[in-house]
Structure 1
């Protein structure tokens, strides 16, 4: 079965689409049959990073026009197969749970080794669920304080979302489930959630602990300008362990390079057209790590 790699970020502007595209190209270049999917259902632009001016078909046509999934797969100048997202289409950012499951289940049945799914920024339920359905979860951030804060917020809410889905059908834990969904009354620490669950139904404590211990997320630091910025990894790892009880996998970093924006303006896939071997080597290292524990 096809393995899905979801790439998310807490905010826009951190280079998530650039990373997703070049990760997919790196995997494809290694001989893995890879499909790149634009999971942004409100402002899709991933096609630009694989050399396409526009994606004429995409997820909208699959869901609303009932096209077969194979009819919306596009060959790209980046030599990687591609499915476009949706942009400027009323309602597409708020698809139903059935439509969400249809996308995931259909992608898993395709004849690819890997699907790299570039998710829209933010913490909508669609993005959280796409992220949590994935076989490999990757968060990309840069060293800016807002990026770090929003990335941690995304990770926290993603974890709380899977806990909430686990306990929501247990009437004894209804109050905990409601609080997990509340942004204003949310739990600061996972230990506080476990303590509440223990008070209402102690039989669920071990189930939630098992879920948390199996929750794995990889971290990529993008736009690195100075070596000292690598400390972001260790700070993020410490906070995630302290408050969420989860381990972070440090997948690697991508240096800042003005050539990246220039290649995008020319619609030239960076991995193939750039002379910067150092950045391409970083992508190859990261793609190895991404698939090593799947």
Structure 2
């Protein structure tokens, strides 16, 4: 377990010492940050628990609160609100409105029953009657926490604030320029964002990635695999967001310069071609009955910007692949590309051709719709994946329609992992989330507001790139290129074949 302590200097080291001394957190690693800029530097580093003090210097408390909830959406967040006063009450209200109730009040270790010792392993919730409910997240801990050590009260930093990179006028002008550029690309001269479904969905994904800045990938000498990395998305029911996950990851990797193939393995209901506006071309059905050769595959691969796409069947029939031919197709694709991202149908365990796909996958992204989360359905998820030849260490969780106000992330992970045997050491973790409101999320990108999931998606892409033998590095965005990839996709009037 890794815990990030974002607490002011003079308190953070003492807090770390007391937590380690308590003996309640064996095997935990505590990482200290005594200023907000240190937290931002670690935004792409996965942690299990984040402790944020209201008095952390370098940012206004409310701003640090909102950004922490965004950067570490999949982590258990504990807030240190300090002693009661009007500022503390306002801070707690903002946190509660965001769905964050894990708040330690008073001088450390905090007011009972929710002291810092309890908070690190337990979630605090408020029931409809206003009663406080405390539930364990990781494992049970002793009700009586060791609180004999009093920690000095933090010093209020009322005069401290995060400096703006641009003044208000510059921000408004930049927002107008971006909107005009998007409208021009989408062919709308009224200054408004087009509402056409495909273009909207593409814009949302590209905006999300662009807010974090582009990435470049460098092939690491001696680490390139002889066979590419296969990543599959999976969902136990339709509408969970697996296609969005596949496209987002594939776009991030391709934009970084990693040769990436996005393949539509949903043979019964392919969706990727329509997503990118691909039509009147042959799809995967073109390969049935032919020898599996790279030249035949290249005949049907479409290039959109930097991304290569293998469409599913375009004639609305399910191709009658033999099992051996489908397995050979997968192996050939892995030889042709460093990374293959495959989208699969819902209820994947009912499709016989998918066993050869999942059993060969290096990573499976199991998408869970948080808004319709069911413990019973989620518990059945893992056994279905195991039945398809997927081992637990190759599974990661992606939450769709994420909101801090809904079911706790750790509870979802616990339900998901309930289907594994108790001796499994490496259980699946949440690696990325898709926000509850995509439209608001995209609009926030235009306005320069905090973007929720950028860092997580680039971190996930970085992990996949490393598996393929590439170094996924940050690259400063050049002026005027924020919409470059979208422009490449939407401005092309012809389909490019390889």
In the superposition, the TM-score normalised over structure 2's length comes to 0.41
Give the structure 1 partner of residue 402 of structure 2: 224
Match of 1:116 among 336, 341, 347: 341
Give the structure 2 partner of residue 234 of structure 1: 413
CA contact (8 A) 2:246 2:341 kept: yes
User: What is the distance in 1 between the residues matched to 2:238 and 2:441?
Assistant: 15
What is the root-mean-square deviation of aligned Cα atoms in Å? 3.4
Alpha-carbon offset, residue 247 of structure 1: 1.9
Match of 2:433 among 253, 259, 282: 253
Query: How many pairs were matched up?
Result: 233
Alpha-carbon offset, residue 282 of structure 1: 3.3
Give the structure 1 partner of residue 281 of structure 2: 56
User: What is the distance in 2 between the residues matched to 1:131 and 1:147?
Assistant: 24
1:4 equivalent in alignment to 2:184: no
User: What is the distance in 2 between the residues matched to 1:88 and 1:232?
Assistant: 43
User: What is the distance in 2 between the residues matched to 1:20 and 1:132?
Assistant: 18
Structure 1 residues 259 and 96: alpha-carbon distance in aligned structure 2, compared to 1, 3 A threshold = same
Between Structure 1 and Structure 2, whose CA radius of gyration is higher? 2
Alpha-carbon offset, residue 252 of structure 1: 2.1
1:282 equivalent in alignment to 2:461: no
| Residue segments in structure 2 that go unaligned for 5+ positions in a row | 1-226, 469-498
Alpha-carbon offset, residue 59 of structure 1: 1.2
User: What is the distance in 1 between the residues matched to 2:352 and 2:458?
Assistant: 31
Structure 1 residues 161 and 3: alpha-carbon distance in aligned structure 2, compared to 1, 3 A threshold = closer
Structure 1 residues 41 and 216: alpha-carbon distance in aligned structure 2, compared to 1, 3 A threshold = same
CA contact (8 A) 2:229 2:340 kept: yes
Alpha-carbon offset, residue 64 of structure 1: 4.4
How big is each residue's C-alpha offset from its partner over 1:162-199, in whole Å with a ceiling of 9 and x where there is no partner?
A: 3xxxxxxxxxxxxxxxxxxxxxxxxxxxxxxxxxxxxx
Alpha-carbon offset, residue 88 of structure 1: 5.9
User: Any residues of structure 2 matched to 1:80-159 within 5 Å, and which?
Assistant: 80-86=307-313, 89-92=316-319, 95-110=321-336, 112-122=337-347, 123=349, 124-145=351-372, 149-150=376-377, 152-159=379-386
> Tell me, what secondary structure is at the counterpart of 2:359?
helix
Alpha-carbon offset, residue 283 of structure 1: 1.9
Give the structure 1 partner of residue 240 of structure 2: 14
CA contact (8 A) 1:7 1:117 kept: yes
CA contact (8 A) 1:52 1:76 kept: no
> Tell me, what secondary structure is at the counterpart of 2:457?
helix
Larger RCO: 1 or 2 (CA < 8 Å, sep 6+): 1
Structure 1 residues 6 and 293: alpha-carbon distance in aligned structure 2, compared to 1, 3 A threshold = same
User: What is the distance in 1 between the residues matched to 2:327 and 2:301?
Assistant: 19
My pick for the range that moved more, 29-38 or 229-238, is 229-238
User: What is the distance in 2 between the residues matched to 1:281 and 1:101?
Assistant: 34
In the superposition, the TM-score normalised over structure 1's length comes to 0.67
1:44 equivalent in alignment to 2:240: no
Structure 1 residues 158 and 237: alpha-carbon distance in aligned structure 2, compared to 1, 3 A threshold = closer
User: What is the distance in 1 between the residues matched to 2:315 and 2:440?
Assistant: 26
| Residue segments in structure 1 that go unaligned for 5+ positions in a row | 163-210, 264-270
> Tell me, what secondary structure is at the counterpart of 2:398?
strand
> Tell me, what secondary structure is at the counterpart of 1:285?
helix
